[in-house]
């Protein structure tokens, strides 16, 4: 049976918020007006990834003539233990695309952010 936690939108700071449900710590984040929820356990060594800083990242690609550019500002959470970077919207590691962080469904109900586990 699914459980859920409900937060008011204004209770989620730009740095995200950690909630506990069913014994799990889950980071709830707002990116560009949408909400996302990630398991607070880094894939690298189990660190509290969702307590890390919110940032962007450097990207080098053909479209920019292989020059570095700063992208995804406010969309990346950086694990405080070893600086592993994750895309908040997908849970994917920027270094290892294989296994993403576990994500949870989030919906808005009457001004409340509801995370389902």
Residue boundaries of the structural domains of the chain: 13-105
Do 28 and 16 form a contact (C-beta atoms < 8 A)? Answer: yes
Q: How confident is the model over 3-60, as pLDDT tens digits?
A: 888 999 999 998 999 999 989 999 999 999 999 999 999 998 999 999 999 999 998 8
Name which residue leads in pLDDT, 82 or 4.
82
Do 53 and 19 form a contact (C-beta atoms < 8 A)? Answer: no
Q: Identify the band that residue 76 occupies on the pLDDT scale cut at 50, 70 and 90.
A: very high
Name which residue leads in pLDDT, 112 or 99.
112
Cβ partners under 8 Å of residue 91, min gap 6: 38, 39, 100, 101, 102, 103
13-105, superfamily in CATH? Rieske [2Fe-2S] iron-sulphur domain (2.102.10.10)
Q: Say what the pLDDT of residue 1 is.
A: 56
Name which residue leads in pLDDT, 61 or 54.
54
Average pLDDT over residues 56-67: 91
Sheet holding 112-116, edge to edge: 4-8, 112-116, 106-109
CA atoms within 13 A on the CB side of 34: 9
Q: Identify the band that residue 84 occupies on the pLDDT scale cut at 50, 70 and 90.
A: very high
Do 88 and 76 form a contact (C-beta atoms < 8 A)? Answer: yes
Query: From start to end of 14-52, where are the E strands?
Result: 17-21, 24-31, 34-39
Q: Say what the pLDDT of residue 61 is.
A: 87
């Amino acid at each position: 049976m699914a459980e859920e936690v409900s937060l008011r939108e204004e209770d989620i700071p730009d740095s995200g918020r950690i909630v506990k449900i069913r014994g799990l710590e889950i980071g709830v984040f707002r990116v560009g007006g949408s909400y996302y929820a990630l398991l607070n356990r880094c894939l690298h060594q189990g660190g509290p990834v969702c307590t890390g800083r919110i940032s962007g990242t450097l990207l080098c690609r053909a479209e920019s003539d292989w020059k570095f550019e700063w992208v995804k500002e406010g969309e990346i959470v950086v694990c405080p233990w070893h600086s592993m970077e994750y895309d908040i919207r997908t849970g994917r590691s920027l270094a290892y695309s294989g296994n993403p962080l576990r994500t949870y469904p989030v919906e808005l109900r009457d001004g409340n952010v509801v995370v389902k586990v």
